[in-house]
Each structure stands twice: as C-alpha cells, then as structure tokens.
Amino acid sequence: MNPILQIDKLLVRLEPVWGKQKIEQFKLIYQISDIKRKARLEKIISISASKLVNDNLLNNKIILPPSTKEECYGKGQIYLADICYGTYPDHNPRTICPLYLDYTDIKNHIIVTGLSGMGKTTLAYNLLKELASKKVNCLVFDWDRTWRNFLSLPEEEYPFINDIRIFTIGRDDIAPLSWNMFFSPPPGIKFSSWLGIVSSKPLQKSLLAGQGVEDFIENEAEKLMNDFQSGILKLLPNADDLRKRIKNKFAKARELLWKQSAERVLKDLTRESIKRLFGSREPLDISEQIIERKGITILEMDIETPEHLRVLFQELFLTYLMLCVLSKGEAQRDEIRTAIFLEEFPNMLPKSSIEKEVNSDVIKTIFREGRKFGLGLIAIAQETSELPNYVLANAKVQVHFACQTKKDIEATANSLFLKHDEIVFLDLLKLGEAITKVKGRVRNCLIKIKPPFIHGRVNDIQLKEKMKKWNSQNSE
C-alpha cells in the first residue's frame, strides 16, 4: 500500500483518541517533513495505533472510528450504550463515550437484529427503562412472556413499575383483554368504515378469507349493528352472534362456498380461549385505557393462541392505534406519543404468496408515516435478510448484533454500507456488542450495551395477583 495512504488510514483510526486538531497538526508536519523525519513519524503513528487502538494487523479486531463525542451525544435525551474503540492493555474494549438517541431518532424508528442470546432483548429493556424514566408512553408486543419480569424490579428504584399494565392475549385466566374487533371502532371512526377495514385484508392475510367472505361478514354485521342501535338487541353484538346469523342464512351455488368459508373464519374467532378477546360484550376502551394511558402496556402474544390469530390481533391493534393518532393530527418535532416495541418482528410480515398478495399496509404505513404522528417503532428480529426494504430504508437507527449465515451477513453489510474489509467485523462481535449507526449523525461504530438489570422472574400466579392489585388501585 502507498505509505501516504497507509498513514492516512492510521490517522483516521487515531482521530477518536487524539482528537481532530492534533490529527490535522500531525498531517501538516508529515507533509512538510523530509524523508527521514517522515520515517520517524510513520513509526510513531504505527506504534500509537498499535498501543491505543490495537491496530487490525491480524484482522481479528473491530476497528470502526466513531463520530465525534458531540455527534454521539446529540441532545443527550435517551442513553443507548457505550461506544468502544480499540482495546485497553488487558484487551478489554476501550470505552470512548456514551451514545445517546434523540427523540427524533426514535420517531424515525429503530431496527435491532442478531443471533438469539447476543443482547437484543437486553438492549430493548434498557431502551424501555430510559423511555419510561422520561415519561414516554410505551407499548410492547411480547411473544415469549419475558417482559413481565419488569414487575420483579424494586419500585423504589424503578418508580415507573407502578405504571405497567399487562394483558395476556388469549389467556382469560391471567390478565385478559376484553375487545370486540368487529363492533368496537376507534373514537371518531364510523362503524361501517372500521368494519370494512376489519373484514378485508387482515382477515384475508391471517385466515385466508376471500372477497365473498368479506361481503358476507360485512352485510350481516351491519344488520346486527342496526338492530343494536335501534334497540332490538339489548347487548352489543359480537363475533358469535355474527357466526350464528350467517349459519342460519340461506345460500346457494357460489354463495354457499362463501357462507361456509365465513363460518370457518368466525368459528376460529369464537374459540373458547379467545372469545373475550375478539367478541366481548363489554369491551375495554382501548383508546383511553391503553393508547392514551400514561405508562407502559405489555401485550403478551401468547404461544397458546394460534400464530395466525396473534398476527390478526396485532395487525388490527396497530391499525386501531394508527387511526387514533391520525385523528389527533401531526405531533411536534420532539414529541413521542407512543414508542412501540415489536418482539419477533418478522412474525408480522407476510410469508406465503397469498399473504404477500393481500398483505395489509399498516406496518409499512407506520414505518413511512408514523413519525409524523409521534409513533416510534423498535423492531427486533434475528435475521436481517428477512426484513423488507421499506423497513431498513425507514429505520434511522440500526443496531446489529452478531449474525452468522452468509445471507444475513450480506444483508447487514449492505444495510450498513460496510467496506469489504469491514464485513468480517460482523463475525467478530461478542456477547453484548453490536455495530450501530444513526443515519445522518453517527457513523458505523462498535457499542457495548449495559449488562442485564432484570434478574427476577414473574410467574403466572404472581402476574395475576399483581394485575388484580393494579386493577383495584386504578379502578374508579
């Protein structure tokens, strides 16, 4: 390599340690020096690089010169992790400065990827703790019953624990959520408009319903709602009423197939374990009790509920949420109305060709437009290659832990614009380490997250008691 290019490369690596001013002075001295003095300066630079940043001669160190301390600090609103560069004499990572996220960074979304067990969830826990301490409303979609363990923390040290409410989706015996998906539209939204949303793409995606099924459900649901509003029905209709009505409806030829498909769909929605979720006659006011409520709401998307029904609920809930914030208008630049944590994010994405054909646009809409209305997504996934382009293109903050397959390494490297000799860094990341960038402010850098701070566990019995206590303390 050309000696000048080699020196420039080493000086770039030394800049975070020496500072920009000293580097500029060194470059000037080097340029005006004679051959002998240049040789001495080259030795000084080489030795300094080896000592301070443990130069990458053996290709087994992650050397990513970070941005300036001022750029990494930003507005200092939400602490993310510590930036590391080089190593100490004992070979431990050298901490340079903390990395903070601004509220606008979070509103422009965060994507977290990497192998299981490398620190993704711990990073998300740290983010939730930081946001909660700043009184930011948080909504968590939890697929593995782990976020409930926040309740094991001492309230004296973590006062936001008092504002955590947990719902066990599809488990009526713990902390159930009462909803009525067909007959409980968001505030300010006409029933017919909401019914059209519910009975179309979400049902087609999760339950493979078709256009004829949609028409069958809409027609009968509107009749039920008219009967309720006119006083003929005394109780709010639900999915079970809809199923019985369609079952008794006469149909022939092609309509008979639509009727049978509609019955199949509604039978799935009226299972004993989820009847209260999709068809409560006294549904919770989601807008007031979850979306507008101050604090943290955790929705346990339990494995006991079939995956397609979990996906249906999650998609409808986010649609409901988006309609609520749309009615409030655009948020202020630094205003976060809700930070949404999406565990196992790929579960929300279409997999089969049929799902892709009828895929709902709610996730895409939130990634593209949610920032305007104060919504920030923190999406967590294991495989970068599973993520569609609109996700990576609209995530201002990217945090990538170690990945293993060639497909994921290539997808991550492309997303971060890693140079050819930097791609190997993705295989060198250790537990708790990740390569991170904040678009437009912080270039690719190595971060080290704080170790787990949650050590206790909350079982079903404890959760039931805690939520019973929460309900009694917060009931009017």
Count Cβ neighbours within 10 Å for each residue of 229-248 and write b for 16 or more, e otherwise.
eeeeeeebbbbbbbbebbee
Q: What's the pLDDT score for residue 76?
A: 93
Q: Residue 446: in which H helix or E strand, if any?
A: strand 442-448
Between 377 and 252, name the one with better pLDDT: 377
Mean pLDDT of 136-162: 92
- Residue 255 has what DSSP assignment? H
Closest CA to 163 of 196, 189, 197, 129: 129
Mean pLDDT of 242-269: 80
Percent of the chain at pLDDT > 90 equals: 42
Specify the residue for token string 């009749």: 223
Between 133 and 205, name the one with better pLDDT: 133
Q: What's the pLDDT score for residue 378?
A: 96
Backbone angles phi, psi at 341, to 5 degrees: -100, 125
* Residue pLDDT, tens place only, 297-329: 999 987 777 777 887 888 889 889 999 998 888
What does the domain layout of the chain look like in residue ranges?
Answer: 3-52, 69-177+284-471, 191-274
**Residues facing residue 381 across a β-bridge:** 113
**Among 10-24, 136-150, 220-234, 274-288, which is the least confidently predicted range?**
10-24
pLDDT tier at 20, thresholds 50, 70, 90:
confident
Between 36 and 81, name the one with better pLDDT: 81
Work out the burial of residue 333: count CB atoms within 10 Å of its CB; fewer than 13 is exposed, 13-18 middle, 19 or more buried. exposed
Strands (E), 374-422: 375-381, 397-400
Handedness of CA 417, 418, 420, 426 (dihedral sign): negative
Res 147 pLDDT > 90: yes
* Residue pLDDT, tens place only, 393-421: 999 999 999 998 899 999 999 999 998 88
Q: How many CA atoms are closer than 13 Å to the CA of 217, on its beta-carbon side?
A: 31
Separation of alpha carbons 462 and 281, rounded Å: 28
Q: What's the pLDDT score for residue 53?
A: 56
Structure tokens at 123: 């990073």
Cα maximum dimension of the chain: 100
Strands (E), 102-226: 110-113, 138-142, 164-169
Helix (H, G, I), strand (E, B) or coil at 94: strand
Helices and strands, number each (H, E), in the chain: 20, 11
Average pLDDT, the chain: 84
* Residue pLDDT, tens place only, 375-396: 999 999 999 998 988 899 999 9
Separation of alpha carbons 159 and 356, rounded Å: 43
Mean pLDDT of 74-96: 85
Q: In what order do the strands lie in the sheet with 375-381?
A: 93-101, 78-87, 442-448, 433-438, 397-400, 110-113, 375-381, 338-342, 138-142, 296-301, 164-169
Res 352 pLDDT > 60: no
Which DSSP string do the residues of 217-244 spell out, in sequence order? Answer: HHHHHHHHHHHHHTTS-SS---HHHHHH
Separation of alpha carbons 319 and 31, rounded Å: 61
Q: What's the pLDDT score for residue 58?
A: 41
**Among 150-159, 292-301, 357-366, 380-389, which is the least confidently predicted range?**
357-366
pLDDT tier at 173, thresholds 50, 70, 90:
confident
Q: What's the pLDDT score for residue 167?
A: 93
Between 92 and 238, name the one with better pLDDT: 238
Structure tokens at 97: 């400065």
Separation of alpha carbons 319 and 361, rounded Å: 9
Mean pLDDT of 207-216: 65
Separation of alpha carbons 242 and 244, rounded Å: 6
Mean pLDDT of 259-283: 84
Mean pLDDT of 218-224: 87
Cβ atoms of residues 303 and 336 within 8 Å: no
Separation of alpha carbons 440 and 19, rounded Å: 21
pLDDT tier at 55, thresholds 50, 70, 90:
very low
Q: What's the pLDDT score for residue 452?
A: 92
Res 75 pLDDT > 80: yes
Mean pLDDT of 151-172: 91
> Which of 52-61, 172-181, 265-274 reaches the highest mean pLDDT?
172-181
Q: What's the pLDDT score for residue 441?
A: 94
Residue 333's contacts (CB-CB under 8 Å, 6 or more residues apart) are 104
pLDDT tier at 24, thresholds 50, 70, 90:
confident
Percent of the chain at pLDDT > 70 equals: 88
Question: CA dist 61 to 1, 54, 55, 56, 356, Å?
Answer: 20, 8, 8, 6, 41
Q: How many CA atoms are closer than 13 Å to the CA of 449, on its beta-carbon side?
A: 26
pLDDT tier at 363, thresholds 50, 70, 90:
confident
Res 56 pLDDT > 50: no
Architecture of domain 69-177+284-471: 3-Layer(aba) Sandwich (3.40)
